[in-house]
Structure formats: structure tokens, C-alpha cells
Amino acid sequence: MNASASSKNPLTLVIVGGVAGGASAATRARRMDEHARIILYEKDEHASFANCGLPYYIGGEITDRSKLIVAKPELFRDRFNIELHTRHEVTAINRREKTVTVLDRNKGITFTQKYDKLILSPGASPVVPSLRGVESSNVFSLRNLADTDRIFAAVNARSDGHAVVIGAGFIGLEMVEMLHRRGMKVTLVELQKQVLPPLDPEMASRVEQELIRNGVKVHLGAGLAGFETSGGNVSKVILSDETKLDADLVILGIGVKPNVKLAQEAGLALGRTGGIVVNEYLQTSDPDIYAAGDAVEYRHGVSGLQQRIPLAGPANRAGRLAGQHAVCGQSRPMAPVLGTAIVRVFETTAALTGLTQKTADPAHSRAIWVTTNHHAGYYPGAKPLNLKLIYDTRDSRVLGAQAVGAQGVDKRMDVIATAIQLKATVYDLTELDLAYAPPFGSAKDPIHMAAFAACNDLDGLMTTVRPDVDFENMQVVDVRTAKEFAELSFPGTINIPVDELRQRIGELDPKKETIVTCASGVRSYVAARILEQHGFSTVLELTGGASVRSHTGQPVKRGKEEVPPPCRA
């Protein structure tokens, strides 16, 4: 593939924003066109820094700050011959003249720069509510290195103090762990009734438990309503339910809004979720202007809807394609994006890809839950992994997945994300030939187990019911051992261990609608097959078993005592 302009008539490519999308665009453009003039404007102090690493520097896991700069200015200059200008803000685009107006913050002067092609990757800005006190010096958002340095200094000053993190999304959760690691007493506040709102509530509930297990106070279902200040600092955070929380430091992690002012003022089209509209080659409504990253809308890989997906992977891929297309006039199209994301919260990892049950069409989708070990149970160190698979009941296509566990979450999510991208069905998942030896997995991987269960459901071998189904008026048989049942059970269930079921089948009424449940859905499937073949009229399997139901908010019994459910969702 050749660059569109020759060495005699080099093209001028101007890029706005020098981090994920912008830096990827610039370096790819250079690799594709040795002669183009490539100018990269970054309004802040640093370009090409690792946004995703910032929480880990604050928490002390990354100790060398210089490692956060992925590509140093010399690298842009010497290896890539890219003109990087930091502290240069592009303030306007003149599409007719094909120029940008640039404010040089070093010199305090404004100038114009001509472009042949322009790429916008200005990212997104943290949402900051307009509340009195929000401008206090101990209230922070985290987006760049300057924010990081400020938070780092504040934690150093009050590492035994109280931190309040508002927003239980990915960055909020990372900050909770890192502030806790630095010794702060951390309270997490989330407006929704679950942490990690992108996940379904029963999956997110495990993350909530992990936070509580580590001494984090979790306050759900209430939003930030205001601050009490003293001496220019916030001293208390006030929530919508009137709770007041002590605060030496406040982190706002309540989402981001796309930086679209430049694009909007230049008359470029914006989409339904407020991001810049781009085609599959990242061209905006002006074909000489490209856009990538958090400011744009991508096509979702399952729903097909245009939406903002503010993640580093899509930003880097889109920037790279835009950089190539801008100088060559051709590239592969940007593939739809699945929103695959992952977060570590202490010793638990949670991840998702594609649609959730919240976002999938309930009329044409179903979900299956499995709880299995992340590697062979007999090999030391096996840890339970909860996997939820969502599939289309019409064509058996995999629509999405979520996983929570101590280990092995990332590889399951990446395999399923790949399968979704290749439009796999749950039948395809049963056939995946995955690497296996006992320290790494099981001959029947958790992905296979989930897919088997989904296929059994679609093939009519087993009808499943949701883990939060109402047990009222149902005959519910729990086929776990008596010991397991004594530790945790659900009101209204009969305990007949699966190995005793054939002998004790007379204790059950075959004419009644019967739900079978166990710990995770493996034994209940065997039990359900036994009951069906002994003439029970309607046998339903509780998908996910006790391990999922106990996170759905349904009543739970420990011993003889009924206890409040752990999940308030």
C-alpha cells in the first residue's frame, strides 16, 4: 500500500490529542508514509502516557513514574520524525481553509496551521457535577498525569485518612483498591444498587462482597448530593439519602463525557450518544477529517447500534486505522466493538464482553450460569470461576459473557470475545479446541461447560429457569449434600442429595412442577435427567444453582436461620 502523496508533494497530517488514539495514528501514519509532514498537538504537558496505569502508580504498584510515559518526545522526533507539540491546544477548525487554530500555551500565542488531513482524538473529560465545594483542593478526577500527581501528593499527606470514591465503575474500583493499599479508609458510593453497573447485578454482587471482605465500606443506591467544607477543603460528602461520610479525599469516578466541542463547532455530525459520527474508515462527516477514541461512536459488534465505548483497545485500533487511511487513502475498515473490559478488585477479577442481560433483548435471549474451577479441581490452587453466557434463542449465536473469579477470568473473556467477533454459536463454543493441562484449565473448560448447558437448553434437553425465580408454589429439590445444604439453602426447598435421588424419589410428587438445584448447575442437570426419565411432568433446572441464586437478592438460609440477601439489587 502506497502513500497518497509523493515525496515532492508531501501531505500534511495534523493530529489533535497525543495519547492513545492520537499517538497510534501518528506512528502508523509515519510507518505508512515516510514523506508526510506529521504534526501532533497535545494540549497538556505529556503525550503518549499510560492512562490505564495511573491508578497503579497512585497505589504504589507501579513505582517508577517515568514508566508511565509510553513514548518519550525524543522517540516521536528521532524514530518517527513526528513534530510533537505539547502544551498546544487546537481551539478551532476552519474546514473551508483547511486550517486549525492553535494556542501555544508555552508562549501564550495563537497561530494557524494548514492541514491536508486532520485526525481528532481529543478523548473524553471526567464528569464533574456542579455542586458547591466540588472545586475544593481535596476533590479529584483522574484523567492524566497532572491529576495523578495531585492525587499522589494528597494521599501522601493523608494516607491514614478517609477516602470517598464516588462511582463504582472501572476507574472507581481501581482507585478504591489503590487507596486502600495506601492505607486509607475507603468508602465507595454508587447511585445504582450494584457495583460495576456495566455487569448484571448478580455477577457484580461478588465484586461487592470482595470489597466488603477487604474492609471497604460500600454504599449503594445513593448518589452524591453535596459537600460540607471547612477551610477550603471538603470535610464530609453528603449523599442523596442524607448520609454524611467523613472525607479527607474525594475521587469522582462518575463517568466521562466526550470532548466534541471542536468537532461540533466545526459542524461535524454528532451521533445519538453524543460522540462524533465516523464511518468504518474513521472519517467524520468531512472526509478529510478523521476521528478516533473516546470522542467517537463505534458500531457495537452485537447490537449494531452506534455508541461511545471509551476503552483503550478501540482507541488504539481506531487511531492506527485512521492514521493509515489519512495518508494512504485506504485501510481495513474498523471492526465493530464489543466493549470487552476487565477489572481487578483485590483478589477478584470481573470481566464482560458483548451484551449483558440488561442490554440484550429479553424476547430473544437467554442466559446460562456455570460455576466451575478455573483449572482442574484435583490440581492445587483451583479457584471457582463464575461464568455467565448470554445467547440468542433464535440462531444460538453468542451475544455476550461475564465472568468473575480469582483467576482465569481474562482468558475466558478473551476467548469468548473472539468467538463473538467471529459470530460463533454456543454449539461452536462446545467445539473449541483449547489448550489444556491441569495447571491451566480442564479438559472440559468452563467455556465448554457453559456452552454445553446452553446447548442442552436450546436442544430441549433441559429447561432452565433464572436463578432469581420465585420458588412459591413450586416443588424445589436441592440435590447437594446435607452438609452443603446446612451451610446455605433457600426457604422452601427439599434436600435430596443426587446420589440418593433414585432411592428417595417417592418423597417427591411427579405431577408437580419441579425445580432442581445444586451448587452450580452440574449435579442438578444429572438429577433433572433422572426425574424426567422417571416420569416427572415438568422438570426445570435452576441455572447457576445456589452459587448464583445467593447473589440475586432472594432470601437465603444459613443453618436454620434466614439471613438478608447479600445483594441489594
Catalytic residues: 52
Q: Which residue is nearest to ligand FAD (CB)?
A: 293
State how far the Cα of 205 lies from the Cα of 207, in Å rounded to an integer: 5
Question: Between 259 and 353, whose beta carbon lies closer to ligand FAD?
Answer: 259
Which residues are bridge partners to 465 per DSSP?
Answer: 542
> Is there binding between residue 323 and ligand FAD (CB under 6 A)?
no
Nearest CA-CA partner of 208 in 343, 311, 340, 366 = 343
What sign has the CA pseudo-torsion 203, 209, 214, 220? Answer: positive
Q: Which of 89, 200, 297, 468 binds ligand FAD (CB under 6 A)?
A: 89
> What is the per-residue binding string for ligand FAD in 548-567, x denoting contact by CB under 6 A?
--------------------
CA torsion through residues 211, 184, 132, 261, sign: negative
Determine contact, residues 49/24, Cβ cutoff 8 Å: no
Minimal distance, residue 37 CB to ligand FAD, in Å: 18
Strand partners, 220: 190
Closest CB to ligand FAD among residues 68, 367: 68
Is the distance from CB of 281 to CB of 328 less than 8 angstroms? no
**143 near ligand FAD (CB under 6 A):** yes
Longest CA span, the chain: 91
Q: How many residues bind ligand FAD (CB under 6 A)?
A: 34
In the window 47-86, what residues touch ligand FAD (CB under 6 A)? 51-52, 54-55
CB nearer to ligand FAD: pick between 82 and 516? 82
Instruction: Determine how β-strand 12-16 pairs with β-strand 37-42.
Output: parallel
Measured distance CA(447)–CA(434) in Å, rounded: 10
Q: Is 275 in the site for ligand FAD (CB under 6 A)?
A: no
306-307 and 139-140 beta bridge pairing? unpaired
Instruction: Give, as one character, the DSSP assignment of residue 337.
Output: B
CA 490/CA 471 separation, integer angstroms: 9
Binding status of residue 171 toward ligand FAD by CB under 6 A: yes
Residue among 311 and 350 whose Cβ is closer to ligand FAD: 311
3-class DSSP state for residue 206? helix
Contact with ligand FAD (CB under 6 A) among 186, 311, 474, 556: 311
Contact range with ligand FAD by CB under 6 A, out of 119-127, 279-287, 419-427, 474-482: 119-127
In the chain, count H helices and then E strands.
15, 32
**Is the C-alpha dihedral spanning 255, 260, 264, 268 positive or negative?**
negative
The answer to whether 258 contacts ligand FAD (rule: CB under 6 A) is no
Burial of 78 (0-12, 13-18, 19+ CB in 10 A): exposed
If one asks whether residue 315 binds ligand FAD (CB under 6 A), the answer comes out as: yes
Compute the distance between CA of residue 481 and CA of residue 490 in angstroms, rounded to an integer. Answer: 14
Closest to ligand FAD by CB, 121 or 373: 121
Question: Which of 4, 5, 13, 17 forms a contact with ligand FAD (CB under 6 A)?
Answer: 17
253 binds ligand FAD (CB under 6 A): no
Pick the closer one to ligand FAD by CB: 256 or 528: 256
For the chain, the straight-line distance linking the first and the last C-alpha, in angstroms and rounded, comes to 53
Does 294 interact with ligand FAD (rule: CB under 6 A)?
yes
Q: Of 229, 227, 254, 225, which is closest to residue 242 (Cα–Cα)?
A: 225
Q: How far is the CB of 72 from ligand FAD (least distance, A)?
A: 15
Rounded distance, CA 327 to CA 325, Å? 6
Does the protein bind ligand FAD through residue 457 (CB under 6 A)? no
358 backbone dihedrals φ, ψ, rounded to 5°:
-70, -35
Could you tell me which stretch among 17-25, 149-157, 471-479, 491-499 binds ligand FAD (CB under 6 A)? Answer: 17-25
Residue from the set 16, 29, 479, 540 that interacts with ligand FAD by CB under 6 A: 16
Q: Does 310 bind ligand FAD (CB under 6 A)?
A: yes
Task: Decide if 383 contacts 409 (C-beta within 8 A).
Answer: no
Residue 165: name the closest of 144, 151, 146 by CA. 151
Residue 142 in contact with ligand FAD, rule: CB under 6 A:
yes
Among 41, 56, 346, 452, binds ligand FAD (CB under 6 A): 41
Place of cell 492553535: 102
Nearest distance, CB of residue 21 and ligand FAD, angstroms: 3
What is the β-pairing status of strands 99-104 and 88-94? antiparallel
Q: Is 313 in the site for ligand FAD (CB under 6 A)?
A: yes
| Residue 290 CA: distances (Å) to CA of 57, 91, 94, 119, 454 | 33, 17, 14, 5, 42
Closer CB to ligand FAD, 84 or 528, in the complex: 84
- In the bound state with ligand FAD, the residue whose beta carbon lies nearer, of 140 and 525, is 140
Region binding ligand FAD by CB under 6 A among candidate stretches 115-123, 273-281, 397-405, 407-415: 115-123
Q: Could you tell me where the beta strands, DSSP code E, fall in 105-172? A: 109-114, 117-120, 124-126, 139-140, 162-166
**Identity of the residue, 95 or 568, whose beta carbon is nearer to ligand FAD in the bound complex:** 95
- What mask, x for binding ligand FAD by CB under 6 A, covers residues 220 to 239? --------------------
| Residue selected from 275, 293, 384, 467 as contacting ligand FAD according to rule CB under 6 A | 293
Task: Supply the minimum distance, in Å, between the C-beta of residue 117 and ligand FAD.
Answer: 16
Stretch that binds ligand FAD, among 159-167, 208-216, 304-312, 367-375 (CB under 6 A): 304-312
Q: Which is nearer to ligand FAD, 295 or 548 (CB)?
A: 295
Binding residues for ligand FAD, per CB under 6 A? 16-22, 41-44, 51-52, 54-55, 89-90, 121-123, 142-144, 171, 259, 262, 293-295, 310-313, 315
